[in-house]
Amino acid sequence: MKGALYDAGASPLERFGLLRMRRRAWAAVPASGLGLEIGAGTGTAFPFHPPGARVVATDVSPGMLAHARGKPGVAGTLLVVCDAERLPFRGGIFDWAAETLAFCQVPDPEAALREIARVSRPRAPLVMLEHVRPAGWLGGVADLVSRVTVPLWGEHFDRSPDVPLARAGFEVERRAWLWRDVFLLLECLGPGRKPT
């Protein structure tokens, strides 16, 4: 039910331009290797997974992932219910990671980014598509809206991933605004191996 509601709500946005943005984000993901999708939700991104890649799609919500099971592109994707802040994987096994519109809900983005860095090989690519807090007076509106949406369903409109990315040791290689100064595509590289 939760997944069906999400898809119904997102559908106008997908037509408005979100689908185009997703396509652009997933085109930045490496074409092969073992990939990790964070906060996969109802599996809207599955058709964009690189055909040659094996992908583990994760989400904290069993309801959302249950809905993802029926999505096109699910074949060959392993679905795992888990919290991005505590990933149930060994260190260094993923070749890349990607997320779309999940870090606006993850309670502690820095903790999740540290987990992504832990389970990924050194300097592995991370692609993020997020809506961020806009500049100017719209930023104030985003702060006000977040006061309502965060308690209701954990959605932040008042965030930017830059500080948590830097704190978790990621380097932003490329950034592109996909819609105004709200939808941001970030292509990052994870931290190198820590000296032993």
Ligand X SMILES: C[S@@+](CC[C@H](N)C(=O)[O-])C[C@H]1O[C@@H](n2cnc3c(N)ncnc32)[C@H](O)[C@@H]1O
Binding site for ligand X (CB under 6 A): 39-41, 44-45, 59-61, 64, 83-85, 100-102, 105-106
Q: Which residue is nearest to ligand X (CB)?
A: 41
Minimum CB distance to ligand X, residue 152 (Å)? 13
Q: Which is nearer to ligand X, 42 or 170 (CB)?
A: 42
Minimum CB distance to ligand X, residue 44 (Å)? 4
Instruction: Report the alpha-carbon distance of residue 83 to residue 91 in Å, rounded.
Output: 16
Minimum CB distance to ligand X, residue 114 (Å)? 13
Q: Which is nearer to ligand X, 77 or 105 (CB)?
A: 105
Instruction: Report the alpha-carbon distance of residue 42 to residue 69 in Å, rounded.
Output: 8
Minimum CB distance to ligand X, residue 85 (Å)? 5
Torsion of CA 77, 9, 138, 113, to 10 degrees: -20
Determine contact, residues 171/125, Cβ cutoff 8 Å: no
Q: Which is nearer to ligand X, 151 or 195 (CB)?
A: 151
φ/ψ region of 180 (left if φ > 0, alpha if ψ in -120 to 50, else beta) reads: left
Q: Which is nearer to ligand X, 14 or 162 (CB)?
A: 14
Q: Please tell me whether residue 130 adopts helix, strand or coil conformation.
A: strand
Q: In one letter, which amino acid is 26?
A: W
